[in-house]
Amino acid sequence: MPRTQVAIVGAGPAGLLLAQLLHLRGIDSVVLERHTRSYVEARIRAGVLEQGSVDLLTKAGLADRLHRERLVHHGLELLFDGVGHHVPLTELAGRELTIYGQHELVTDLVAARLDTGRPLLFEAPAVGIDGLDTDSPVVHYVHNGRTEELHCDFVAGCDGFHGVSRPAAAGLTRYEYEYPYAWLGVLAEVAPSAEELIYASHDRGFALHSMRSPTLTRLYLQVSPDASVSAWPDERVWAELRTRLDRTSGFELADGPIVDKAVTALRSFVVEPMRYRRLFLAGDAAHIVPATGAKGLNLAVVDVAVLASALTRWFADGDAAGLESYSDTCLARVWRVQHFSWWMTSMLHRAPDADPFTRRLQLSQLRYLTSSAAAATSFAENYVGLPFPEGAQ
Residues of the shown chain interacting with ligand APR in the complex, contacts defined by CB under 6 A: 9-15, 32-35, 40, 45-46, 102, 125-126, 158-160, 163-164, 283-284, 296-297, 300
For ligand PHB, which residue of 292, 329, 345, 362 counts as binding (CB under 6 A)? 292
Determine if 150 is a binding residue for ligand PHB (CB under 6 A): no
d(CA 163, CA 34): 9
d(CA 67, CA 240): 34
Q: One symbol per residue from 46 to 75: x for binding ligand PHB (CB under 6 A), - otherwise; what is it?
A: xxx---------------------------
What are the backbone dihedrals phi and psi of residue 380, each rounded to the nearest 5 degrees, phi first? -65, -40
Q: Nearer Cβ to ligand PHB, position 298 or 327? A: 298
Q: Nearer Cβ to ligand APR, position 76 or 92? A: 76
What lies within 8 Å, CB to CB, of 362 at 6+ separation is 201, 346, 347, 348
Q: Nearer Cβ to ligand APR, position 12 or 205? A: 12
Q: Nearer Cβ to ligand PHB, position 348 or 392? A: 348
Min separation Cβ 246 and ligand APR, Å = 29
Q: Which does 112 bind (CB under 5 to 8 A by kind): ligand PHB, ligand APR, none?
A: none
Q: Which does 126 bind (CB under 5 to 8 A by kind): ligand APR, ligand PHB, none?
A: ligand APR
Q: Which does 391 bind (CB under 5 to 8 A by kind): ligand APR, ligand PHB, none?
A: none
Contact 19, 31 (CB under 8 A): yes
Number of Cβ atoms within 10 Å of the Cβ of 289: 26
d(CA 389, CA 330): 8
Min separation Cβ 298 and ligand PHB, Å = 11
Q: Which does 119 bind (CB under 5 to 8 A by kind): ligand APR, ligand PHB, none?
A: none
d(CA 279, CA 258): 41
Min separation Cβ 45 and ligand PHB, Å = 7
d(CA 230, CA 236): 11
What lies within 8 Å, CB to CB, of 96 at 6+ separation is 51, 72, 73, 74, 89, 90, 384
Stretch that binds ligand PHB, among 43-51, 108-116, 235-243, 305-313 (CB under 6 A): 43-51
Q: Which does 284 bind (CB under 5 to 8 A by kind): ligand APR, ligand PHB, none?
A: ligand APR
Could you tell me the sign of the dihedral formed by the alpha carbons of 278, 280, 285, 287, in that order?
positive
Q: Which does 205 bind (CB under 5 to 8 A by kind): ligand PHB, ligand APR, none?
A: none
Angle between helices 356-369 and 373-384 (to 10 degrees): 90
Q: Is 80 helix (H, G, I), strand (E, B) or coil?
A: strand
Q: Is 335 helix (H, G, I), strand (E, B) or coil?
A: helix
Q: Which does 292 bind (CB under 5 to 8 A by kind): ligand PHB, ligand APR, none?
A: ligand PHB
Q: Nearer Cβ to ligand APR, position 163 or 205? A: 163
Q: Nearer Cβ to ligand PHB, position 27 or 221? A: 221
Which residues within the stretch 244-273 sit at the binding site for ligand PHB (CB under 6 A)? Answer: none
What are the backbone dihedrals phi and psi of residue 66, each rounded to the nearest 5 degrees, phi first? -55, -45
Min separation Cβ 230 and ligand PHB, Å = 22
List strands edge to edge, sheet with 258-272: 83-87, 76-80, 198-202, 205-213, 216-223, 173-188, 258-272, 287-288
Determine if 218 is a binding residue for ligand PHB (CB under 6 A): yes
Q: Nearer Cβ to ligand PHB, position 22 or 294? A: 294
